[in-house]
Amino acid sequence: MTTDCWVNETLYDAWGQRFLVQRELARVRSAFQDIMIFESATHGRVMLLDGVVQITERDEFVYQEMLTHVPLLAHGAARRVLIIGAGDGGVLRRVLMHRDVERAVMVEIDGEVIRLCREHLPAIGGDAWEDPRAQVIVGDGIDYVRRGAPASFDVIVVDSTDPIGVGEVLFTDAFYASAARLLAVGGLIVNQCGVPFMQSDELRQTSARRARHFPHVGAYLAAVPTYVGGFMTLGFAAKRPGLDAVPRVTIEARARAAGILGRTRYWTPALHEAAFWLPPYIAEQLPHA
């Protein structure tokens, strides 16, 4: 008789989700974190970093589409995009779907995450790794933005782990000050800000920090099934007003021109507009609430 093998997510001490494991594919202790990839019974292949769900084949489209298409289409003329983290390649693939993007630089601290995701989760990044517009750098995002040339990017997407461990530097004043310098006029930065129902400090504290370096700070929502606890928030900080309120017809026209329309499974122009309407328990975590 085989005994079932379960993996419990360890994000919260007193509550969490578990996955029935069909087959472990990789278990590596890199220089930065514990990396586990396994075949689950319900969500396809799953990757945990230090016991926290990062991505599942079944629901990755929700998060990657919202973290990528919202800022690029809100900007409206993004040509140069910086991606920090995102070692699975999912954000890079979505950025390169935008036909007018000329350059996508991705800075991931852990080369082992890239290696293992390319081997065991190949569909997530697809052929983005070979795209001539892509430059993949293995390094610390904070070092890259500190050295970066002023006004060298239009959008920065921070797809990092939570602000603990190696990810912590990506939520600091030093990082946001450098990001503001790197962004051209009209630029914006987005980053994952956790699930406020369980991690309200993350949204509140990082939004207050972003507000010290950007005049327009907000957040928008995505319902990611495996980021348990209700809505996932994506932080948003811009140099110009109104990027969080671009009319649906404009977003739709931009998506059509970019070659995105009809190629998504979660993002739509209507959902883009709706994602910025926050319930009070989340809106009250933002500055000026």
Q: Which is nearer to ligand SAM, 108 or 202 (CB)?
A: 108
Write the CA distances from 161 to 114, 239, 268, integer angstroms. 14, 25, 26
Applying CB under 6 A, which of residues 108, 244, 252, 273 lies at the interface with ligand SAM? 108
Q: Does 138 sit near ligand SAM (CB under 6 A)?
A: no
> What is the distance between the alpha carbons of residues 220 and 14, in angstroms, rounded to a whole number?
27
Q: Does 163 sit near ligand SAM (CB under 6 A)?
A: no
Binding to ligand SAM, residues 56-85 (CB under 6 A): 63, 84-85
Q: Are 46 and 40 in contact (CB under 8 A)?
A: yes
Region binding ligand SAM by CB under 6 A among candidate stretches 49-57, 182-190, 209-217, 266-274: 49-57
Q: Are 120 and 25 in contact (CB under 8 A)?
A: yes
Q: Among this protein's residues, is 159 annotated catalytic?
A: yes
Min dist CB 3 to ligand SAM, Å, is: 30
Q: Give which of 84, 36, 90, 28 is closest to 61, Cα–Cα.
A: 90
Q: Which string of x and - marks every residue 169-188 that binds ligand SAM (by CB under 6 A)?
A: xx------------------
Q: Are 269 and 255 in contact (CB under 8 A)?
A: yes
Q: Does 273 sit near ligand SAM (CB under 6 A)?
A: no
Binding to ligand SAM, residues 8-37 (CB under 6 A): 32
Q: Which is nearer to ligand SAM, 73 or 170 (CB)?
A: 170
Applying CB under 6 A, which of residues 71, 87, 89, 218 lies at the interface with ligand SAM? 87
> What is the distance between the alpha carbons of residues 250 and 73, in angstroms, rounded to a whole number?
9
Query: Which position among 50, 110, 154, 159 bears the catalytic label?
Result: 159
Write the CA distances from 49 to 34, 35, 138, 153, 180, integer angstroms. 6, 5, 17, 29, 29
Residue type, 36: M
Applying CB under 6 A, which of residues 62, 74, 83, 86 lies at the interface with ligand SAM? 86
Q: Which is nearer to ligand SAM, 157 or 246 (CB)?
A: 157
Q: Does 148 sit near ligand SAM (CB under 6 A)?
A: no
Q: Which is nearer to ligand SAM, 94 or 254 (CB)?
A: 94
Binding to ligand SAM, residues 191-220 (CB under 6 A): 192
Q: Does 156 sit near ligand SAM (CB under 6 A)?
A: no
Region binding ligand SAM by CB under 6 A among candidate stretches 107-115, 234-242, 247-255, 269-277: 107-115
Q: Give which of 264, 200, 203, 194 is closest to 227, Cα–Cα.
A: 194
**Among all residues, whose Cβ is closest to ligand SAM?**
85
DSSP H stretches of helix in the chain: 60-75, 90-97, 111-120, 122-125, 141-147, 173-182, 196-211, 248-258, 269-274, 280-283
**Which residues are near ligand SAM by CB under 6 A?**
32, 49, 54-55, 63, 84-88, 107-110, 113, 140-142, 159-161, 166-167, 169-170, 192
Catalytic residues: 159
